[in-house]
Chains A and B, each alone.
Chain A
Amino acid sequence: GAVVSQHPSRVICKSGTSVKIECRSLDFQATTMFWYRQFPKQSLMLMATSNEGSKATYEQGVEKDKFLINHASLTLSTLTVTSAHPEDSSFYICSAPPRTTSTDTQYFGPGTRLTVL
């Protein structure tokens, strides 16, 4: 099946620094990618929709200036957590539906665990 990768898988940073997380579709193109956040023992919460060639769409309550999203190409979306704080520590997951599919199929990345000290 289709593969989505995320890099890094785990990152630890100091408070106040910025962290970039990459989401790549390895064997298909995706005009749209989704970014989710998962707190320990909780569900995935949709943060934003990344759109190739246009601005990302953020869910209510998500700070777009804090979570910068760039959909650089049909196979790459990046999430940058700016001026990270300990409360930003979480598991970040991306997903991508292949642009050629007509059904609602998404492929998920393995996730990135962010720890802010």
Chain B
Amino acid sequence: AQSVTQPDIHITVSEGASLELRCNYSYGATPYLFWYVQSPGQGLQLLLKYFSGDTLVQGIKGFEAEFKRSQSSFNLRKPSVHWSDAAEYFCAVGAPGGYNKLIFGAGTRLAVHP
């Protein structure tokens, strides 16, 4: 069965520091992988997605993620965190095809210290 693991429930970083949020997945084939951000009062916003091709994916707001098949990982990174990045981040996996259902990880809450 598909599953997504985000090992870090809560992470705190200083503004300007680099960030890496971990995500591991379990899936029989190459999945579609997503990172979403959830801010209070806002719907989930897609940061980036991986379907195929280049394993380093660039997203919005300066985020990037790298798909590593050998490690079943899709970690999210940002070189310099801004205070506005404080939010909940979810990694998700979906089966290839249109209108797929998403399986979400438990989420990582990011706090940013000034």
Chain A residues close to B by CB (< 8 Å): 4, 9, 31-32, 34, 36, 41-46, 49, 93, 95, 97, 101-111
Q: Does B19 contact A (CB under 8 A)?
A: no
Residues of B within 8 A of A111 (CB): 43
A-B CB contact pairs (8 Å), 22 listed: A4-B43, A9-B41, A32-B99, A34-B102, A36-B104, A43-B90, A44-B90, A44-B102, A45-B104, A49-B101, A93-B43, A97-B98, A102-B98, A104-B32, A104-B49, A104-B94, A104-B96, A104-B99, A108-B36, A108-B43, A109-B43, A111-B43
Write the nearest CB–CB distance from A90 to chain B, whole angstroms: 15
- A43 in contact with B100 (CB, 8 Å): no
Tell me if A43 and B107 are in contact (CB < 8 A). Answer: yes
Answer yes or no: B46 CB below 8 A from chain A CBs.
yes
CB contacts (< 8 Å) of A106 on chain B: these are 46, 102
Interface residues of B in 24-61 (CB under 8 A from A): 32, 36, 41-46, 49, 51
How many A-B pairs have beta carbons closer than 8 Å: the answer is 58
Do A46 and B101 touch across chains, with their CB atoms under 8 A apart?
yes
Query: Which residue, of B45, B102, B105, B107, has the highest number of chain A Cβ atoms within 10 A?
Result: B102
Question: What residues of A have a CB within 8 angstroms of the CB of B102 in the complex?
Answer: 34, 44, 46, 95, 106
Bound complex: CA of A104 vs CA of B99, how far in Å?
6
Asked if B103 lies at the interface with its beta carbon under 8 angstroms from chain A, I say yes
State the CA gap A109–B36 with chains docked (Å): 13
Residue in B36, B42, B96 whose beta carbon sits within 8 Å of that of A110 in the complex: B42
B106 within 8 Å of A by Cβ? yes
| Complex Cα–Cα for A42 and B105 (A) | 9
B51 with A103: CB separation less than 8 A: yes
Known A-B contacts: A31-B99, A43-B90, A95-B102. Give 16 more (CB < 8 A): A32-B99, A34-B102, A42-B106, A44-B104, A97-B98, A101-B98, A103-B51, A104-B32, A104-B49, A104-B94, A104-B98, A106-B102, A107-B43, A108-B43, A110-B41, A111-B43
